[in-house]
Amino acid sequence: MSMSVRWLGGLIVRGRFADVRGAIHLPIDDDDTVAVTVEVYAESVRTGISLRDHHLRGPLFLDAAHHPIIMFRGGDVMRLPTHIAVPGSLTIRGITRTEELRCSIAQSATGRELLADLTLSRRAYNVGVPRGLRRLDPLFVVIGDEVRISIRVAL
Using left for φ > 0, alpha for ψ between -120 and 50, and beta otherwise, residue 40 falls in: beta
- The fold of the 2-154 domain, in CATH, is Lipocalin (2.40.128)
Domain boundaries, the chain: 2-154
Question: Has residue 135 got a pLDDT over 70?
Answer: no
Percent of the chain with pLDDT over 90: 60
Query: Which stretches does DSSP call E strand in the chain?
Result: 2-7, 11-17, 20-25, 35-41, 45-46, 69-75, 78-79, 84-92, 95-108, 111-121, 143-154
pLDDT in tens, 79-124: 889 888 999 999 999 999 999 999 998 888 888 898 999 999 999 9
Question: Has residue 30 got a pLDDT over 80?
Answer: no
Using a 10 angstrom Cβ sphere, with 0-12 exposed, 13-18 middle and 19 or more buried, the burial of residue 32 is exposed
**pTM, to two decimals:** 0.87
Which value, to the nearest 10 degrees, does the dihedral of the CA atoms of residues 31, 32, 33, 39 take?
160
Q: Which residues contact 90 (CB under 8 A, 6 or more apart)?
A: 70, 71, 72, 96, 97, 98, 99, 118, 120
